Amino acid sequence: MKKILIFWLLAVYIISFTGCSPKAETNNGIWLTYYELNGILNGNFEEELETVIKNCKKAKIQNLYIHTRAFGDSLYSSDYFPLIENAKKYEYDVFSYILKECKKSGLKVHAWINPYRISTSTTNIDDIDVKSPAYKWLKDDKTENDSNVGFANGIYLNPASKEVRALVVDGIRELIAKYEVDGIHFDDYFYPTTSEDFDRASYEDYIKETSEPLSLEDWRRFNVNNLISDCYTAIKYADKDVIFSISPSASLEQNYDNLYADVKEWVQEGYIDEIIPQLYFGFLYPDERFRFENLLSEWKILADNNPNVNLKIGLACYKAKPTLEADKAEWLANGDIIARQAEICEKDSKVGGYVLFSYSSLFGADMEYTKQRENLMEYLNSGEDK
């Protein structure tokens, strides 16, 4: 007994001295985007979904992040959002079917939501679904509702609006009440612009009502923080086991200054369960600040602010076919970048997993630049060798 105690104390000392802790099992996932989902719904839905699930299981993927609400619409029948066009032709609930089939295979499903985005292709409100909350607010007789919607190379809900915040929260409550999802997930779409014109009326109203108003930038961050906090509270009240995750841009400065997403605040205050930054860069990116390992180090430091928030890393499978000049030299010369990044994530005790963007980039029919995918699949299936 004495020897066991000595051994245990020695182990604790070593862990404390090295700053390491026992590594939890890595938890990985893959994003299924709205355009990939539309392709499945346009085809033989049930067969194509079966293929998606089989491919995920083959790659030992554990979590599927499904674009459930991409443009103020919904994959399921909702009291708040119009049903997406490609789901209308089915006489049954396609999201319920997806959940049932995924759970049968042990695949966890996270409902991926864009809280503010309505359209990125038009600023004409008549081009969107008449059941959209944005359309209803702009077309009703209440002029005060117009400020719930903003325009910036597209149509967005206004983050400054209490009504918008209530709508997003109500939509999440509805989703969790109707379906046994494993998680609610946001990506990196928050404020769509830095222009003062986007929410000028809302900010001017705020200044009139406040004795010591925040700057425009801090006020915008405050608005987003309120939404994130409200969503977390609603999720945990409905079901404490549902994971709330957000996948912000790779750059902390870009998030803070341009998107008004105060990621550090979310982590420190515990407004989220998981943070999944999009580290979509190689090891030799021309701007050293954006090289994968430098970004990873920065996000690990941030995650240290709250051990209760799990850090996962978003990896760019789509760069198997690089299109940007800054990427081409490295990605065309090296066929194992994603596999190496996945291995780094798995072996780092401060990283709890990674998520791959996106499904079609790993399993699509494109036969170009397959080396990245082949090496990643080989790594994913390397089993006990990892």
- Ranges of the chain with pLDDT below 70: 1-26, 367, 369, 383-386
| Contacts (Cβ under 8 Å, ≥6 apart) of 147 | 158, 160, 161, 199, 201, 202, 205
Q: Are strands 274-275 and 183-186 parallel, antiparallel or unpaired?
A: unpaired
Structural domain contains residue 1: no
Structure-derived torsion over alpha carbons of residues 155, 317, 111, 263, reported in degrees to the nearest 10:
-70
Q: In 10 A of CB 132, how many CB atoms?
A: 23
Give me the amino acid identity at 366: D
- Counting the structural domains of the chain, the total is 1
**CA–CA gap between residue 54 and residue 102 (Å, rounded):** 10
Structural domain contains residue 11: no
Residue 183's beta-bridge partner residues? 110, 243
Structural domain contains residue 381: yes
| Residue 47 burial class via C-beta count within 10 angstroms: exposed 0-12, middle 13-18, buried 19 and up | exposed
Structural domain contains residue 202: yes
Angle between helices 162-178 and 216-238 (to 10 degrees): 20
CB–CB of 320/372 below 8 Å?
yes
Structural domain contains residue 9: no
Structural domain contains residue 4: no
b/e per residue 60-74 (b: at least 16 CB within 10 A): ebbbbbbbbbbbbbb
| Residue appearing with tokens 């083959």 | 58
**CA–CA gap between residue 293 and residue 281 (Å, rounded):** 9
* Structural Rg of the chain based on CA atoms: 22
* Structural domain boundaries enclosing 121: 28-385
CATH number of the domain bearing residue 161: 3.20.20.80
b/e per residue 20-37 (b: at least 16 CB within 10 A): eeeeeebbbbbbbbbebb
Structural domain contains residue 40: yes
**Closest alpha carbon to 56 in 97, 5, 103:** 103
Q: In 10 A of CB 376, how many CB atoms?
A: 26
pLDDT of residue 238: 97
Return the structure tokens found at 28: 């990985």
String of DSSP letters for 71-138? SS-BSS--SSSPBPGGGTT-SS-HHHHHHHHHHHTT-EEEEEE-SSEEESS---GGGS-TTSHHHHHH
Q: What percent of the residues of the chain are helix, what percent strand, and what percent coil, each to the nearest 5? A: 50, 15, 35
**CA–CA gap between residue 84 and residue 71 (Å, rounded):** 9
Structural domain contains residue 360: yes
pLDDT in tens, 78-89: 999 999 999 999
**CA–CA gap between residue 184 and residue 243 (Å, rounded):** 6
pLDDT of residue 25: 53
Strand, coil or helix: what is 28?
strand
Cα end-to-end span (Å), the chain:
34
Angle, CA of 245, 249 and 252, to the nearest 5°: 100
